[in-house]
Structure 1
């Protein structure tokens, strides 16, 4: 017999306990085990509740979202906070990954298409049509999601999906690259050069192309009394896996013939207070 909550006895106090544990790990840039069974979310809506409590308590604005089309047992949505979003054009080629757990010497990255909004898509009764979402987009850009979470490796491997959703699905930041002429981006060539070692990949979004996830997100947030805001950026899934790259190493990423990223990164060893 365990103390794990059933669907019908999940309470606001349990959600708050889970959120406080995840918040503490964010604040100290530390990793930990699975949430205690007594406050471990078991359903997608329980996990969404915990994620929202973390977002409301975190002292930073939402600068963007990660998302993807839902699937049975999965809800792919998570906020990206302003302090964790960096632009190579503004912040330069030497990036400090302040959202990654202290003490790490490498980091995983997902290669994404980012959509930056020019106009709000606020909550409303009627659904947003794809054309309305398209009209709200300022531009698309190359993007790298910084992959990391608040669970240690063993806990992340063992955790059920709702536990991962509660923590924002492994997001620890976002790097923004140059704008490009938008297109469906159903398939293209993606190349990495890391420390002088070159590899190439056939890139493809898991949803077929990047925009359907954005269309879904606009309506999911609308249904939940939230919305998208001008200036926010939305990413909709990796195009070529989740490679691990070392710190303090020159990294170059090319989207077809376009040079997208040329940078190196460090991970601060001190924790936040």
Structure 2
């Protein structure tokens, strides 16, 4: 895609987001033909959203577990952006009216203490784990802001940050205080009922594998991860779609509890 088409596609995506209007298929000439083009549009979307969404704060990784790959029909990870305006502390109350169709996922989030820059690639699990500062129990907030996401294809979903709409974080725990992220068992509870559960090992075998995937993926495009950035490593459970009045609680053994209410 040429620069003009990338910009035009990003403008349509950002306009739909600002208006909370479901996004349909982009005009044929503006549709990304592959995920590489989708990520080019995503980077342009990031710049266009800066005034509304705040500073760029990190990344979410989607499709890192079999349950999510099967649900979305995409057999590999994809990433999207996280912005400061979408990051909340546990106990927050959010309005469903601020989303098109809001959903939540149970996640392990990490915050980096060291950069992972492209000149240092390729990255192994052993290298990226040393870059992790803190870990959090997290609720990823996702938004089905599409007329019918099943028909859009991964490149367009990538262009629109792959459903990303923010997160709710539990208290930070130093990485050294968490014995093994792969062994963390997570439970998703909505209105007091258990609706899903999984373990860190469901995320590409280990959440740190997901972080390594992201670092290498970004490095391939000349980008890197920076100290202080947040990374949501992927859902342990299938997406849970919510309605007004729902209360969400994610329990992650060894990481703690994170809660949010939707009105």
C-alpha distance 211-265 of structure 1, shift in aligned 2 (>3 A) = same
Match for residue 80 of structure 1 among 79, 82, 100: 82
Richer in helix (by share): 2
* SS of match in other structure, 2:162: coil
Residue in structure 2 matched with residue 42 of structure 1 by the alignment: 33
Distance 1:94 1:216, change over 3 A: closer
- TM-score normalised to the size of structure 1? 0.79
Distance 1:148 1:199, change over 3 A: closer
Deviations 1:87-122 (A, max 9, x none): 22xxxx2332589425x5xx2111111011112223
Q: Which residue of 2 aligns with 1:4?
A: none
Gaps of 5+ in 1: 1-9, 267-273
Task: Indicate the structure (1 or 2) with the bigger Cα radius of gyration.
Answer: 1
Matched residues, number: 248
| CA apart distance, 1:123 | 3.4
Q: 1:168 to 1:212 in 2, by over 3 A?
A: same
Could you give the per-residue CA deviations for residues 1-56 of structure 1, whole angstroms, max 9, x where no partner exists? xxxxxxxxx32222211111001122223222111112111111111111111112
Give 1:136's match in structure 2, choosing from 131, 140, 159.
131
Aligned to 1:167: 160
> Residue 197 of structure 2: which of 192, 196, 201 is its match?
201
Match of 1:55 among 36, 46, 66: 46
8 Å contact from structure 1 (residues 22, 150) kept in 2: no
Q: What root-mean-square deviation, in Å, do the aligned CA atoms of Structure 1 and Structure 2 show? A: 2.7
Residues in 1 aligned to 2:206 and 2:164: alpha-carbon distance in whole angstroms: 21
TM-score by length of 2: 0.82
Instruction: Show structure 2 runs of 5+ residues with no match.
Output: none
Residue from 98, 122, 126 that aligns with 1:127? 122
**Kept in 2: contact 1:146–1:174 (CA 8 A):** yes
Corresponding residue for residue 215 of structure 1: 212
Shift of the 98–229 alpha-carbon distance from structure 1 to 2, 3 Å rule, reads farther
Contact 2:94–2:260 under 8 Å retained in 1: no
Which has the higher mean CA deviation after the structures are superposed, 57-66 or 244-253? 244-253
Q: Is the 8 A contact 1:184 1:210 kept in 2?
A: no
Higher mean displacement: 93-102 or 36-45:
93-102
